[in-house]
Amino acid sequence: MPIQWFPGHMTSARKKAAETMAMTDVVIEVLDARCPEASSNPMIRELRLARQRPCLRLLNKADLADADATKAWLDYYNRQPGVKAVAISCKKPGDAAKVPALCQSLAPHRNDGTKPLRMMIMGIPNVGKSTLLNALAKKRIAAVGDEPAVTKQQQRIDLSPRQTLFDTPGLMWPKIEHDEDGYMLAASHAIGVNAVIEEEVASFLAGLLLARYPDRLTRRYGFATDAMDPASVIDAVAKKRGCLVRGRNGEYDREKAAIVLLTDYRSGALGRISLETPASRQKALAQQIPSP
């Protein structure tokens, strides 16, 4: 089933973001390093290109992503005009501290007291924007939670007399064109749980793990993956973790097992995993028909 999620407050948030873009020098787009392109909102690209604004793309949660895949994404993005991409973990103060200087390099004309550097943090829900903001401000300004769309209002923070930061709510776009993108976003917890069926999302993740990281399943759960399909992975996780339906004579609780698998992926307990690479995305888009 295709996944779509566009809460009502995001329409007004997009309008406000467009207004703020007019007085912004550099757009900081926070992406999930495990699925950078799937987590890149096409509306953000449209807004910044309309205003001809340079973009610093932060591949956040890089400590959870496959290092080789992240390098390929950095090479891909850094070949694009007006874009600079770096891999970071916003939870590491040293990584976050590099951001203003990187933005300054994209807007060298904004480097004195009369022309302060104006930066704007954008991205989809739950990619780490609020964590980045708090690290840059060196205090808790934005609420942080492991749920999408925690931030609802835009806010302005003066980091110094020469640097101003605008923080925006997480923005989705009205229609996710490709089904795989929806599943990658749901697996990475960027979409509200009411919009997804967790067993379906876990099945998608299991299929990807079987194809690219079968050793991670064996290492985490202790079962061999030979001849397995996604459904049998869910069953095997249920068996290993004792996920049983109460009063059903040993029947596996597949929903509970799905949540175990998703949680282990999101937390990094399965190891460093990337859901897409530039090459895999190009191949998938060539084969895939957009959702109706």
Contacts of 246 (CB under 8 A, 6+ apart): none
pLDDT tens for 4-19 read 655 555 667 777 888 8
Has residue 280 got a pLDDT over 70?
Answer: yes
Give the lowest-confidence range in 26-40, 171-185, 216-230, 266-280: 171-185
Where along the chain do its domains lie? 9-167, 197-287
What is the distance between the terminal CA atoms of the chain, rounded to a whole angstrom? Answer: 12
Q: Which amino acid is at 278?
A: P
Assigned fold of 9-167? Rossmann fold (3.40.50)
What's the rounded mean pLDDT across residues 181-205?
90
Would the CATH topology of 9-167 be identical to that of 197-287? Answer: no
What is the structure's pLDDT at 149?
Answer: 44
The CATH code of domain 197-287 reads 1.10.1580.10
pLDDT tens for 105-116 read 999 888 766 788
pLDDT greater at residue 257 or residue 135: 257
Q: What is the rounded radius of gyration, in angstroms, for the C-alpha atoms of the chain?
A: 20
229/155 Cα distance (integer angstroms): 46
Has residue 74 got a pLDDT over 90?
Answer: yes
pLDDT tens for 202-247 read 999 999 999 999 999 999 999 999 999 999 999 999 999 999 998 7
What would the two tokens of residue 114 be? 């009369």
